[in-house]
Structure 1
Amino acid sequence: MRDSIRPADSAKPQNGPARQSVTLFSALAVRKALDEVVLPDFTRRTGVAVNAVFDPTVQLVRRIDTGDPFDVLIGVTDSFHPLIERGLLDPATRTSLARTGVGLAVPFGAPRPDISTRSALVATLRAARSVAYSRTGASGLYFAQLLDDLGIAEEINARATIIEKGFIAEAVVDGRADIAVQQLSELLFVPRADIAGPLPEEVQHYSHFSAILSTGSAGSTAARSLLAHLRGPLAAEAYADTLLEAVAEGRG
């Protein structure tokens, strides 16, 4: 495990001069907004290419632990503290972006189950042939604990579809499960699945996402420009369009 991270290298020349670039490590929850709107607009405005790596925050932290170079990190805010303590992230650059709750998805055209209350959610989960979730993403880790809290972990996990990472709603599209549980913004990434709705507020869990620079890239103009763009008005609109809620600075 390394205790320092080098800035990501600029792009190499390809039949011409090198093109300036930044490497972004990002949680999956914001991928749709970034891929479709935010990053293309940033490159168009600045000419800076963004090499984006998308993974659950836990996986991104593992990459950082093994020394993978990056400039900007977007992840669950609470995951930053150990990396800051080790000097890998610059705390002065932390910028709150958005939050998202956990929701359920079902196959396209299937009846939407009742998940309006805690008891209705329990009944829906018990009636499912299989519930798909991940034990590496923030939503999956929370859902695993929620099953324990609801007293149905053994029953649900006996027939659950556990997925390492990725977009969990794909499991209801290909028939492995009839309910998928993941952050709402990630469920949206699978259009052939229907979002049944968020967890009831009494058991809802919100993941807060922030962006931050690596210590090695804190002085990079390109990295700082990307950080500012991630917090700009166009980005805020893209987050809202992909079921991410804006958060005030300091709440993330």
Structure 2
Amino acid sequence: MQTSIVCAAVLAFAIPAASAEQLDIMNSGGYTAAYLALKPRYEAASGDTLVTAWGPSMGKSPEAIPNRLARGEPADVVIMVGYALDQLIAQGKVDPASRTELADSRIGMVVRAGHALPDISTVEALKATLLGADSIAYSDSASGVYIERELLKKLDIEAAVKPKAHMVQKTPVAMQVAEGKYELGFQQVSEILPVRGATFVARIPEPVQSVTRFAAGIPVQARHPEAARKLLRFLAGPEARGAVAASGLDPLPNN
């Protein structure tokens, strides 16, 4: 029964080849693994082609989605951290009616493959692990901003840890850890799991966890808004849940 429902849902997005569109998508790191799994399925079912630009939801790098939009790069759909999307909506750059919630993301820790797995099963264990580490890295997107501005203060270890902490731009944190540049890395779990040479340790404890909701929207300058809405319905629908969960994200109850 479930298979037939999923098939029917996917077929509902199928459109005649004559009306197929090329959609420009901007996608941020945390949703990448789920998107890559869903992209070929959607293209096969709809006939549309998804051309993807990659970048963080925020930050100073030229690849960051707000900076791409500011330069006038084309986008029919943006997929990013929800509160960063809300900023674009407030600036009049994304249609507020198009805002679609996709998944929740939690922060995890990574070490280089082959290294012992530190204990972060409790808040006190996490605190001790951070204090004992030689170097720590986190991203310049939502997870890293939370760690730098809030988590270290909550644990009351900001003064001790800040000097050995590094915010990494563009490159996945787990990749830097895999190369031996940092002892510990923190990023959204969905960005850690695909990286070879690095081992996912665990999510940070729930009492100090930060849950980031990923959402998508349609820029007001989108060239194919109707086709974009079909894509958003697919990404937020039940047929996407399996890929979302497998990527390390948490599907939303209503999707």
TM-score, scaled to structure 1:
0.85
Deviation at 1:243, TM superposition (A): 1.0
Deviates more, 1:140-149 or 1:156-165: 156-165
Deviates more, 1:66-75 or 1:153-162: 153-162
* Residue 136 of structure 2, aligned match among 118, 131, 135: 131
Whether the aligned pair in 1 keeps the contact of 2:76 and 2:224 (CA below 8 Å) is no
Aligned to 1:48: 48
Aligned residues: 232
Whether the aligned pair in 1 keeps the contact of 2:137 and 2:168 (CA below 8 Å) is yes
* 2:212 equivalent to 1:212: no
Amino acid at match of 2:105: T
Give runs of aligned pairs for residues 1-252 of structure 1, distance below 5 A.
Answer: 20-35=21-36, 37-58=37-58, 59-134=64-139, 136-145=140-149, 146-217=151-222, 220-248=225-253
Amino acid at match of 1:139: S
Whether the aligned pair in 1 keeps the contact of 2:178 and 2:196 (CA below 8 Å) is no
How many angstroms apart in 2 are the aligned matches of 1:219 and 1:158?
Answer: 47
Whether the aligned pair in 2 keeps the contact of 1:90 and 1:218 (CA below 8 Å) is no
Aligned to 1:11: none
Whether the aligned pair in 2 keeps the contact of 1:137 and 1:165 (CA below 8 Å) is no
How many angstroms apart in 1 are the aligned matches of 2:212 and 2:105?
Answer: 6
Whether the aligned pair in 2 keeps the contact of 1:76 and 1:207 (CA below 8 Å) is yes
How many angstroms apart in 2 are the aligned matches of 1:51 and 1:68?
Answer: 12
List structure 1 segments (4+ residues) > 4 angstroms apart after TM superposition: none
Say if 1:234 and 1:249 are closer, same or farther in 2 by CA, change over 3 A: closer
How many angstroms apart in 1 are the aligned matches of 2:32 and 2:132?
Answer: 32
How many angstroms apart in 2 are the aligned matches of 1:194 and 1:82?
Answer: 34
Whether the aligned pair in 2 keeps the contact of 1:21 and 1:222 (CA below 8 Å) is no
Whether the aligned pair in 2 keeps the contact of 1:133 and 1:180 (CA below 8 Å) is yes
Listed as ranges, the gaps of 5+ residues in structure 1 are: 1-16
TM-score, scaled to structure 2:
0.84
Aligned CA-pair RMSD = 2.1
Listed as ranges, the gaps of 5+ residues in structure 2 are: 1-17, 59-63
Deviates more, 1:155-164 or 1:92-101: 155-164
Whether the aligned pair in 1 keeps the contact of 2:31 and 2:80 (CA below 8 Å) is no
Deviation at 1:221, TM superposition (A): 2.9
Deviation at 1:111, TM superposition (A): 1.7
How many angstroms apart in 2 are the aligned matches of 1:137 and 1:160?
Answer: 15
Q: Percent identity?
A: 33
| CA deviations over 1:165-214 (Å, ceiling 9, x no partner) | 23101122111112110011111121321111011111000000111111
SS of residue paired to 2:221: helix
